[in-house]
A = this chain, B = another copy of it.
């Protein structure tokens, strides 16, 4: 079982690589090789099988063809330009999020081996004037270029799967929180920053009000769900290969209360409330009353509580525990 992660330099890609290294198997077979590819060669985990770290330009068909080797059984395609970046730079978003995905699908077609392809879409495909709740039968009505490009890739993934060119599984990721590391250019960056920075003893800006509600998932469950998606049998998926990954709806206020429950009152005092109209405009176009019935029926799962996410962040990413200033 040869596995490739596109976008392995990102935080989810890195966690997925470590999770695969720990498991050693996928789809009931031993993993015999793991290739990690990103714009810069990604870090390699310790693993009981060979791992290679590769540079890829996903917008370039030749680079994609060179990196998706014959014999690749499972591809996780997590490579993307994030939402605020794609909104600022239409060309970059079109080249990477749409063109890059098409390059991956076309390379799979050229291989002729119909590899399993797990594609990270986003709940940013939803938005605007569609009725609540948002289900797997809801109109994709993206309000951003990022959401548009993800929705286009979903449509193409379905068609290439229908034609037997790839065995696709598209998962619309909830906003991931608590995300470790540095803030990125996603409009949703604050949704982790207001927990991550205060738990590390630093100030963070919250650009929306405490009643802002959104649909979240923690990193651990997200990685488990990506692996579960790879392991599903194609027959269980039917014609529409894309679905929402389970998450939970929380308000900012509920999430801060969960942080206080786990780590005491100090971190919440480090949050500065500063409205940012451009961020509010983007995130208020997203939807929050989302149901992931198809994925839940297929065995994917959501978090039990946001306090769990805070605890997992402290265990996985802040092993010294919260800094109290």
Contact = CB atoms under 8 A, between A and B. Distances in A.
Interface of A: 90, 128-131, 137-143, 145, 148, 151-152, 155-156, 158-159, 162-163, 238-240
Contacts of A130: 137
Contacts of A131: 137
A247 to B, nearest CB: 19
Given A128-B240, A145-B163, A148-B156, A137 B140 contact: no
B155 A140 contact: yes
B140 A139 contact: yes
Nearest to A146: B159
Q: Is the interface of A mostly helix, strand, loop or mixed?
A: loop
A163 B86 CA distance: 12
As for how many copies of this chain the complex holds, the number is 2
A11 to B, nearest CB: 27
A18 B30 CA distance: 66
26 contacts: A90-B163, A128-B239, A128-B240, A129-B137, A129-B240, A131-B137, A138-B139, A139-B139, A139-B140, A140-B140, A140-B155, A141-B239, A141-B240, A142-B155, A142-B159, A143-B162, A143-B239, A145-B159, A145-B163, A148-B155, A148-B156, A148-B159, A151-B155, A152-B152, A152-B155, A155-B155
A90 B145 CA distance: 25
Contacts of A142: 155, 158-159
